[in-house]
Structure 1
Amino acid sequence: MKRGSTRPTMLAYFLLLHCFKEAASGGIAGMEAKVDIIKLVVPEYVKRGDGVDLECHWKATGEIYSIKWYFNDREFFAYIPNTSPALTLHPLGGINVTVSISSNGKVHLSNVQLASSGRYKCEVILESPAFLTADSSSNMTVVEIPEDKPTITGTQHQYRIGDTVQLNCSSPRSFPPADLAWFINEERASGQYLIPHAPTHYPEGLTESHLGLQFVVSREHFNKGAMTLRCTAKISPHYLKTQQHSVDGLLTYNVPPMESRAKSAMSEVLAEKSHIQSPLRWQGVQHPDKSSPSGNIRKNHITFGLEQSQ
């Protein structure tokens, strides 16, 4: 009985030894997840020149062999507790690590630049013999946010029905480039009114965005005799500024020169109807012609407007 009772004990011993061997090699289901990254802190956006903390939080059942940080898959920081010194830096362009306030779970980057934009990865490795590994990564974008508003060029003080609006909106230099949008009387301008222009790039990595607005003025573009044209520049979620151009509207029509033959006929009709009281009547306007010896009459051009009767 005593000799037979040792067999279960020996069997249990060999099974336990096998489990340890399998665990060391990561062969048992569920044992390979002995180290996990439970939280990675990498800011999505950082302003150029600021400092930022990168944090890596993990959960492990064994001793840590190393904690390493990578920028676009290139190692720039390592913490290896069993070496001296424990902290090791690998210089990379755009990466400035402040060692005095960095540790095994945190890396401080100072004076971040546009070149610091990219993907950051934290990697945690356990001690031998398994050297189990866990990693996590996230993107960070360094932004250059302007202080100024966008600018509008090509403005006029007044527009008549039939005039052509030709404006351009330009954003201040920034990174990433600003998204521009046009609005007419608080309504977003139709795509057919927009004239895309190529952005302007500068050596330091900044960009100016440009967007044109062009359309023929009609009565529907006026709101109580005025028209408001607005351009917005947006860099989400940090920057949203607007430049506005408000103009007076003259509800008069510019008649092309080829229609001037109708001027005399229209004048005759107006003369015959002048004694009739009407809610609306046509008003002919003659423009000075500097080339004329008398200096008063311009040929082949006239504007007509709707005038309320008194």
Structure 2
Amino acid sequence: MMVFLSRVLLTLLLHHLTGVAVGEVSVKRVVVPEYVDRGDNVELGCHWEVPNNKLYSLKWYLNDREIFRYMPEENPSIEVHPLPGVNVNIELSTVDRLVLNNVQLSSSGKYKCEVIAESPLFLTADKSDPMTVVQIPKEKPRIYGRQDEYHIGDTAHLTCVSAMSSPPAELTWFINDKQAPEEYTIDMNTSHSEHGLTETRKGLKFRVTREHFHNGAMNLKCTAKISSLYYKTQQHSVDGQLTYNVPAMESRDILALSGSSSSLGVGQQQQHQQLVVVVALAVVMEMVMTSMLEYIPS
């Protein structure tokens, strides 16, 4: 604060003594790409103005750590401060541009250009913008836990796994092109590689009902998205068996009734067969009523 006030007072004094206005130092804009691919060569730009073009120094910072300095009165005029993952191309970098070779994930961050005018005031201005280095996969996400067919009453349980990437992919499940309800999805642990990449996982688990089938089929889809840079899908289409899985206990009861008829007379066998039919119909009706209740709002 004291330095700033002293500069202001000195500016006012010069203006008072000479009657000449002291021009402003400004950085009009910086050109920093928002996203770049890992391994690319990148050019950053700085558009600045100083009074009478009397520049004392121009510096570039990454996350407030100096990486490049240009001082026209020095020899050599360019000085580089190495940082991990930041490879400045000295031959191509100038007072107006900074060239980085083979950018890495650690090259991500806020890039700031700072200009300082010549003495006596050494007025300063700066401007910054962020840059993110990404590694985008070419592969689609993978789906595990597939089944060839589902019956009403089955439990579908699948897992979607993204390819390794940076930043991590965002996974979304769809059932017949509609986003799966939140209560169907399961957030799972992510995996990280030694190179800074991330593999994400998301589960899908729900009880299969008649409403999940369209024209006898069910389509399950997982999408992986990274901002506007990457969007890929993996689908799993299955045939639906619109039959009910009869509970094991009820199945055994029907078989027991059916098997015991062999030791009865003709009239008793007819009555027994009728009883078997009635029991089977009762089981089916119970299953149908259960299914209908799923459509009644709670």
| Alignment equivalent of 1:221, drawn from 212, 215, 226 | 212
The structure richer in strand per residue is: 1
Q: Residues of 1 paired with 2:83 and 2:15: CA distance?
A: 35
What is the match of residue 78 of structure 2?
87
Map 1:14-163 to 2 at 5 A: 22=12, 24=14, 34-62=24-52, 63-163=54-154
State TM-score, norm by structure 2. 0.79
Q: Residues of 2 paired with 1:210 and 1:217: CA distance?
A: 22
| Alignment equivalent of 2:226, drawn from 229, 235, 238 | 235
Q: Residues of 2 paired with 1:33 and 1:164: CA distance?
A: 74
Q: Is the 8 A contact 1:32 1:132 kept in 2?
A: no
Q: Residues of 2 paired with 1:212 and 1:23: CA distance?
A: 70
Q: Is the 8 A contact 1:24 1:130 kept in 2?
A: no
Q: Residues of 1 paired with 2:11 and 2:210: CA distance?
A: 85
- Does residue 182 (structure 1) correspond to residue 168 (structure 2)? The answer is no
Q: Which amino acid aligns with 1:44?
A: E
- Does residue 254 (structure 1) correspond to residue 245 (structure 2)? The answer is yes
Structure 1 residues 168 and 143 mapped into 2: Cα distance closer, same or farther (>3 Å)?
same
Map 1:256-275 to 2 at 5 A: 256-260=247-251, 263=254, 268=274, 271=277
* SS at structure 2 position matched to 1:255: coil
Structure number, greater radius of gyration: 1
Q: Is the 8 A contact 1:175 1:207 kept in 2?
A: yes
Q: Residues of 2 paired with 1:21 and 1:169: CA distance?
A: 64
Q: Which amino acid aligns with 1:53?
A: E
* SS at structure 2 position matched to 1:243: strand
Q: Where in structure 1 do 4 or more consecutive aligned residues deviate above 6 Å?
A: 264-267, 281-284
Structure 1 residues 250 and 269 mapped into 2: Cα distance closer, same or farther (>3 Å)?
farther
Runs of at least 5 residues in structure 2 that lack an aligned partner in the other structure: 1-8, 259-272, 288-298
Q: 1:258 Cα shift?
A: 3.6
Runs of at least 5 residues in structure 1 that lack an aligned partner in the other structure: 1-18, 273-280, 285-301, 303-310
Q: 1:188 Cα shift?
A: 0.3
Q: Which amino acid aligns with 1:254?
A: N
Q: Percent identity among equivalent residues?
A: 52
Q: Is the 8 A contact 2:250 2:283 kept in 1?
A: no
RMSD over aligned Cα, in angstroms? 2.9
State TM-score, norm by structure 1. 0.77
